[in-house]
Every structure is written in structure tokens, then in C-alpha cells.
Amino acid sequence: MRLSGRVAIVTGASRGIGYAIAKRFAAEGAAVVINYNTSKSGASKLLREVRTSGGEGMIVAADVADYEQVKRMVRKTLAKYGRIDILVNNAGVMIPETFLEGPDDVWDKTIDVNLKGTYLCSKAVAPTMLKQKQGKIINISSNSGLYHPSAMRFVEYVASKAGVNGLTKALALKLGPYVNVNAICPGWIKTDMVAATDPEVEKRILDETPLKRYGTVEEVANAAVYLASNESDFVTGELHLVAGGRGMH
């Protein structure tokens, strides 16, 4: 129960990594605000699981790229729980289009959710965390945002995650000493987002991974618990790889 008594907002929590993090946070004692944009059914399923296990939570619909919706999510959280201790900026998209042939709006869609959404959610919770003199912001980035050639397949996605990495460090400086800001850079995690990857690409990824397997969403959630807990109180501005050694630096 390392997060007992704390309130956590997890964006994009209706599936994948966000789902696993919110579920694990609840098991560690946190009240979880389960954010979703389109999949109310996934968010509702998670909330049922949390409550069945004796946890506390609520679901809130919000497009993280829309600041009015983000601020409304924060207001609802404060109205119910009175505080915000943890924010996990997990909501993200990866549009597998080639740079030269993809639609013109791929850049805008990717940057709006992955980078702008992380910025807006952080901006919305920061005043509360600073007032509390306590808070943890965890950005879910990717080792695609680091210099690792075979992970850098989609130009817009790579740019958005590199931006998240820079934003993480800038926010760590801006919000210290009271708010810790870190990023998790997952490697190859089997989720819906990467389900349609070409088998040859998958083979190359596994060949490059010293541990020779995919990661799990639960393993990313383990890292998130550490960064959300008191165990990481002297850690800020870091890019924490959970990638089986792929892209180590």
C-alpha cells in the first residue's frame, strides 16, 4: 500500500499501459481518476475491477488536447477528493503512416495528444501540487524518443516523444523542489497500439533486445509505482527506460 491516501489521475487509462498503471495504483491504495476519451466501456470495466478489489476511483471523459476539458477533469477530481498527488500522462497515439505519403494531419493529431496533451495536463495540475508542496508527474514516453534507429520508424511519433522527454526535464526544473517530474520510456510492450507490427520488424526488435522478449504492461506499471511513491523522492528529471536493454544509454 505504497500509495495509500493519495489521489492519482491516469490519462488514457481505458486500455493498455494506462489501464495497468491505474489498476496497480488502486491496489497500492490510491484513489484513481480513470481518464478516457473514446472508450467509456474500457474505463467502466477498469472501475468495476478497482471497486471489486476494494479500491476507490472514478471515471472522467476528457480529450487531453482540449484545455477546457482537461481543466474540467481537474475540477471534478478536486471536487471529489480535494487533492491531486499523482498525474500520469499516458494518453497517446501512434499513427503508422510514412512521412512522405501520410495524410497532412498526422503531425497535428500526434503532437496534439502526445505532447500538447502532456503539457496541458501538467499545467492544469501544477498549481494544486505546488500549493500542497507535494506531487509526482509521470510522463509515459518511449525509447522511440531517444536515439535508437530501429525504434525511430514514424517521424511524427518520434518527434512527439522526444518533445515529451525535453518537457519532462524542463518541468522538473520549473516545478522543483515540491513536484517530481519523470518519464518512463517503454521499449517493445505488446499492446493494441503495436498489434499490427510487421513480423520482420518484430524479429529485429527482439534481436536488439538483450532480454529477448517483449515487456508487459505490468512491468511498466511497476516502474510507475516506484516513481509515484516516496521511494523516488530524490529522483526528478529522469528518463526511466523499461525496455529490456533495447536502446540502453
Residues 118-158 have pLDDT tens digits of 999 999 999 999 999 999 999 999 988 887 776 677 899 99
CATH 3.40.50.300 fits 7-242, yes or no: no
All cell numbers assigned to 21:
498503471
Residue owning grid cell 479500491: 55
Domain extents in the chain = 7-242
Nearest to 47 by CA among 62, 29, 60, 38: 60
- pLDDT attached to residue 39: 93
At 209 the pLDDT is: 87
Read off the DSSP letter of residue 146.
S
Catalytic residues: 157
Prediction pTM value: 0.95
Q: Which three cell numbers stand for residue 4?
A: 495509500
Rounded distance, CA 229 to CA 131, Å?
19
| pLDDT tens digits, one per residue of 195-246 | 666 778 788 888 888 999 989 999 999 999 999 999 999 999 999 999 888 8
